[in-house]
Amino acid sequence: MRSHASGRALPGHARSVPPDDLASRPVPILTDEQVDHYRDHGWVAPIDVLTADEAAALHRALVDAERAFPDDLHAGHRNNAHLVLPFLADLATHDVILDCAASLVDRPTSLLNSVLFIKEPDSDAFVSWHQDSTYMGLDSSDMVTAWVALTASTSASGCVAMVSGSQRDGIHPHVDHYGGDNILTRGQQVAVDVSAAVDIQLGPGQMSLHHPHLVHGSRPNRTDQRRVGVAFQCYVGADVRPNRGKHHVLALGGRPVDPAFTTVPAPDGPCTAASRAVRAAANAALSDVLYDGAAVRRSY
């Protein structure tokens, strides 16, 4: 399996923009070469979103939240944490992420879901080869997932591996395995040739972007450090509509969202009663969509 080294952009970092210019900068900020790489390979990385110090601060905030709200953020309850943690909602709507998404998706209007992907030191947790859009219940692939590293994500720590070009082959049949160490909801797995897989190594504060049809997965963390990332899954284009179930979405920048989606507010504080209720409704709807036709359901 090939490795894509952190800090060595392929095919180049997004253009550097001083913070004071964020409000006035033109869109897009991805280079033409990066956009072409995404279209050809189904992914682009690494892209600098936060400084290493900012990422470390967010990781500390997450650890503090896990300690303060263990029932809300334990290993079996990591979907849509951006609906109860304001700092994750702020990250989800970070200018760099939204501008990059706008380079790849037609007028992104909302964020569908998020997942905290946490691998403890020397753990057996893994993610089987799969495609995000398999069970999403949407009528289009005009969306993109942003995977943001809060700690170093390396080959040794079980970084995401992506099968370059696999997004061009459409949706493959998936088989549900429900393995205890498999982080995925159904333990779903697709049987494809993964010889073109690339390890997407990221430094703290960097992100990768990938297409919803791209086959990807990750191995266990064999280091003595925690590996923490958050997947914002997905930023949805303006013309995408549900074709199954209900979908609770976070609107982006006040942009109008089609009424086929249920728009939810950003959290009013960390794990407040109101934000917990919003998240519970969103996760219940998400569970119905993801487990449609499944033999087993995990609890959210």
Nearest to 230 by CA among 21, 65, 103: 65
Cβ-in-10-Å burial (0-12, 13-18, 19+) of 54 comes to middle
Indicate whether 117 belongs to any domain: yes
Report d(CA 202, CA 10) in Å as an integer.
12
Indicate whether 149 belongs to any domain: yes
H/E stretch holding 104: helix 95-104
Report d(CA 222, CA 255) in Å as an integer.
42
Q: What is the pLDDT of residue 297?
A: 56
Q: What is the pLDDT of residue 140?
A: 87
Indicate whether 295 belongs to any domain: no
Show the tokens assigned to 210.
């990938």
Which residue range forms the structural domain that includes residue 120? Answer: 2-290
Show the tokens assigned to 154.
């390396």
Indicate whether 205 belongs to any domain: yes
Indicate whether 38 belongs to any domain: yes
Indicate whether 297 belongs to any domain: no
Q: Are 234 and 143 in contact (CB under 8 A)?
A: yes
Indicate whether 300 belongs to any domain: no
Q: What is the pLDDT of residue 16?
A: 30
Beta strand pairing call for 188-190 and 216-218: unpaired
Nearest to 42 by CA among 186, 192, 261: 192
Indicate whether 298 belongs to any domain: no
Q: What is the pLDDT of residue 1?
A: 46
Q: What's 279's domain CATH number?
A: 2.60.120.620
The count of domains in the chain is 1
Beta strand pairing call for 160-163 and 197-200: antiparallel
What pTM was estimated for this model as a whole?
0.85
Per-residue pLDDT of the chain in tens (300 residues, 90 and over written 9): 444 433 323 233 333 333 333 334 444 489 999 999 999 999 999 999 999 999 999 999 999 999 999 999 998 899 999 999 999 999 999 999 999 999 999 999 999 999 999 999 998 887 788 888 877 889 889 999 999 999 999 999 999 999 998 878 777 655 555 556 655 655 556 667 778 789 999 999 999 999 999 998 888 999 999 999 999 999 999 999 998 899 999 999 888 999 999 999 999 999 999 999 999 999 999 888 877 665 665 554
